[in-house]
């Protein structure tokens, strides 16, 4: 589950409720690795999940990469039904846990059907390649993009978050122009996609933007001048609100008859 950041923690808690539902009465690991200053994060989520029926909540934070080898840290993942990556800096997540036993524990949980969720930076890291920098709210220039390898839990997509709020369509378009193989998914705040198999559904109060570059007929992204403004022809876009779903294999949207309870 990828969340666009700022999920509601006090009122309807639609997204946290969905996380709790997936975890059942099981254990949820809150991984605050993305944060430089994790103080208060765990406490806030502990309060936010209160009453939603999660059996056990525990925090995993790493001061540095060597801690990713620490047996006690690894034990936190024992019998976990889910892992939730909170926000911060996506490079902190990948540089701290990439190719460590902790990453393998996360993958194991995922492969045996557990829930892997992430918000903001925690959402971006799910893909093979992730956006790390790129200014919002201005004309997109060829050299603006910053990409890095992600955790690779989901193939063929690139995810951006705080999407409408930070005016990020330019940077996602730029990433797709580089390689139209990837599907671009921009997620608004308090909004999430729940991926199951080849399909994702949308939940939350905002929208999800799917950018499909398969039909793009031209772009100038391979030009050498970094300061040149991007141009790109024939991008396809879908805007999906709660209750809509999208098939990643056929790249087609549809409406779910009833929204997730």
Give the three-state DSSP class for 2: strand
Residue 139 is a binding residue for a second copy (CB under 8 A)? yes
State the binding string over 147-186 for a second copy (x if CB under 8 A, else -): -----------------xxxx-xx--x-------------
CB of 50 or CB of 223, closer to a second copy = 223
CB-CB neighbours of 218 under 10 Å: 9
Per the annotation, the verdict on 258 as an active-site residue is no
Q: Name the active-site residue from 7, 18, 35, 120.
A: 120
**How far is Cα 62 from Cα 34, in angstroms, rounded to an integer?**
9
CA angle 196, 109, 190 (to 5 degrees): 50
CA angle 210, 214, 218 (to 5 degrees): 110
Tell me the three state secondary structure of residue 191: strand
Nearer to a second copy, 7 or 103 (CB): 7
* Total interface residues for a second copy by CB under 8 A: 38
Q: Which stretch binds a second copy (CB under 8 A): 58-66, 80-88, 193-201, 223-231?
A: 223-231
For residues 45 and 47, what is the distance between their CA atoms, to the nearest angstrom? 5
Phi and psi dihedrals of 93, rounded to 5?
Answer: -60, -55
Active site residue 225: no
Q: Which of 239, 247, 250, 256 binds a second copy (CB under 8 A)?
A: 239
Query: Which one of residues 94, 119, 127, 191 is an interface residue with a second copy (CB under 8 A)?
Result: 191
Whether 147 contacts 176, CB under 8 Å: no
Taking the CB of residue 59, how many other CB atoms lie within 10 A of it? Answer: 16
User: Smallest distance from the beta carbon of 224 to a second copy, in angstroms?
Assistant: 15
Stretch that binds a second copy, among 55-63, 74-82, 100-108, 238-246 (CB under 8 A): 238-246
Eight-class DSSP state of 65: G
User: How crowded is residue 209: how many other Cβ atoms within 10 Å of its Cβ?
Assistant: 20
Q: Give the interface segment with a second copy, choosing from 20-28, 73-81, 122-130, 137-145 (CB under 8 A).
A: 137-145
Q: Is 244 among the catalytic positions?
A: no
Which residue numbers are catalytic?
A: 120, 138, 162
Binding site for a second copy (CB under 8 A): 136-140, 164-167, 169-170, 173, 188-189, 191, 205-207, 218, 220, 228-242, 244, 253, 255
């Amino acid at each position: 589950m990828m969340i666009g950041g700022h999920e509601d923690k006090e009122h309807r808690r639609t997204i946290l409720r969905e996380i709790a539902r997936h975890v059942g009465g099981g254990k949820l690991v809150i991984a605050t690795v993305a944060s430089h200053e994790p103080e208060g994060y765990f406490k806030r989520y502990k309060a936010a999940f209160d009453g939603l029926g999660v059996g056990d909540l525990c925090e995993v934070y790493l001061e540095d990469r060597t801690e990713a080898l620490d047996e006690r840290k690894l034990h936190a993942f024992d019998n976990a039904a889910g892992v939730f990556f909170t926000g911060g800096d996506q490079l902190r997540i990948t540089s701290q846990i990439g190719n460590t036993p902790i990453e393998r524990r996360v993958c194991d949980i995922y492969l045996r059907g557990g829930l892997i969720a992430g918000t903001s930076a925690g959402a971006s890291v799910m893909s093979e390649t992730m956006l790390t920098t790129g200014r919002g709210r201005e004309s997109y220039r060829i050299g603006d993009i910053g990409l890095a390898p992600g955790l690779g839990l989901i193939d063929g997509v690139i995810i951006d978050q705080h999407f409408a709020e930070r005016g990020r369509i330019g940077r996602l378009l730029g990433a797709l122009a580089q390689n139209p193989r990837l599907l671009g998914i921009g997620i608004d705040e308090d909004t999430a996609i729940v991926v199951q198999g080849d399909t994702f559904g949308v939940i939350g109060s905002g929208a999800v933007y799917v950018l499909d570059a398969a039909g793009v007929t031209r772009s100038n992204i391979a030009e050498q001048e970094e300061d040149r403004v991007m141009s790109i022809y024939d991008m396809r876009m879908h805007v999906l609100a709660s209750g809509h779903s999208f098939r990643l294999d056929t790249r087609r949207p549809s409406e779910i008859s009833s929204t997730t309870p």
